[in-house]
Structure 1
Amino acid sequence: MNTNIAPFHLAIPVHNLEECRTFYKEILNCEEGRRSDHWVDFNFFGHQLVIHYKAKNKEDIHTNAVDGKSVPVPHFGVVLPWDTFHDLSKTLANKNVDFIIEPYIRFKGQTGEQATMFFLDPAGNALEFKAFKDLNQLFAK
């Protein structure tokens, strides 16, 4: 597996710039980069995340059933090292993050065994964080 993957850039809409700025800085501990009155850059686990102000959207979150759970679509996130995932999930629970899907293990003892969790930022953007027991199985069938 290639571990020299280039960082991605993702821009997401938020209807409450300051509340989301606080969330990414204080809840997820992302380092803030450049900013203006309408957007803020963050170091999102080695990737560039930009939150952009956009008036609130009234659409409901769409979900797909996965493992009997309602997975929000769209969503974004990162794959973390196994121990980092578990440390982060404890930190988020201690900070009273309301999980859409609480941390759990998928495919236990099988190819692709992974930990995953879902939650929303204050603007309703769905985030998924996951970790693979064996990162070499990230794309295994």
Structure 2
Amino acid sequence: MATKPSFHLAIPVDDLTKARQFYGDVLGLDEGRSADKWIDWNFYGHQVVTHVAPRAAGGPEAHNPVDGHDVPVPHFGVVLTVPDFHALADKVRAADIAFVIEPYVRFAGEPGEQWTMFFLDPAGNAIEIKAFQDEAQLFAK
């Protein structure tokens, strides 16, 4: 039986009420199963689970320079259509969520040209949203 490829990702959060407000109300994701310590989210056809868990102790958040910006590592995200990308950027702005990297066109005029933006959830998890005018450029070199 063939199935649509998708991923499952579990991320730590420190407050399920804030997670529910951010992922459900701000990002507009559908909530799936849940319990006292976790919530499943339909992250554009993929399963992201917010688990109440302590964050790993360590040094400062890592960054990698990409196209003149400091990209937070680790991060997760999704590729949307260009109109959906801009609609989500508007939702993030309307909720007064600060961008780590404001929406802009990365690699302009090069293979892999894409819209990208980064922001944090209330627990500090970095999220990247991308969009391509030409989705065939997703893995272009």
Length-normalised TM-score, structure 1: 0.92
Q: Is the 8 A contact 1:112 1:133 kept in 2?
A: no
User: Match of 2:17?
Assistant: 18
- SS of the equivalent of 2:63 reads strand
Gaps of 5+ in 2: none
TM-superposition CA deviations, 1:99-136 (whole Å, max 9, x none): 00000001223221100000000000000000111001
State the 4+ residue runs in structure 1 displaced beyond 6 angstroms.
Answer: none
Moved more, 59-68 or 124-133: 59-68
What secondary structure is seen at the aligned counterpart in 1 of 2:104?
Answer: strand
| Partner residue in 1 for 2:92 | 92
5 Å-filtered alignment, 1:34-113, equals 34-59=33-58, 60-113=60-113
Alpha-carbon shift at residue 57 of structure 1 (Å): 4.3
Letter in structure 1 aligned against 2:127: L
When residues 106 and 5 of structure 1 are mapped into structure 2, their CA distance, relative to the original with a 3 A threshold, is: farther
Q: Partners of 1:68 and 1:138 in 2: how far apart?
A: 20
Could you say which residue in structure 1 is the equivalent of 2:27? 28
- Backbone CA RMSD of aligned residues: 1.4
Whether the 8 Å CA contact 1:16–1:123 is kept in 2: the answer is yes
Quote how far apart the aligned CAs of 1:56 are.
Answer: 4.4
Kindly indicate whether the alpha-carbon contact (under 8 Å) linking 1:121 and 1:127 is maintained by their aligned counterparts in 2.
yes
| Cα distance between partner residues in 2 of 1:46 and 1:89 | 19
Q: Hey, what's the Cα distance between the residues in 1 that align with 2:24 and 2:74?
A: 22
For residue 7 of structure 1, what is the aligned residue in structure 2?
A: 6
Aligned-pair distance for 1:86? 1.2
CA distance in 2, matches of 1:61, 1:79: 24
- 1:56 and 1:115 map into 2 onto residues whose CA distance is 30
Distance in 2 separating the partners of 1:41 and 1:75: 18
User: Secondary structure at 1:35's aligned position in 2?
Assistant: strand
Query: Matches of 1:123 and 1:93 in 2, distance apart?
Result: 18
| 2:87 partner SS | helix
Measured in 2, the distance between the counterparts of 1:133 and 1:88 equals 16
Q: Is the 8 A contact 2:67 2:107 kept in 1?
A: no
Q: CA deviation at 1:140?
A: 0.9
Aligned partners of 1:62 and 1:31: how far apart in 2?
Answer: 30
Secondary structure of 2:22's partner? helix
1:32 and 1:41 in contact (8 A); partners too: yes
Q: Which residue of 1 aligns with 2:128?
A: 128
User: What is the count of residue pairs matched by the alignment?
Assistant: 138
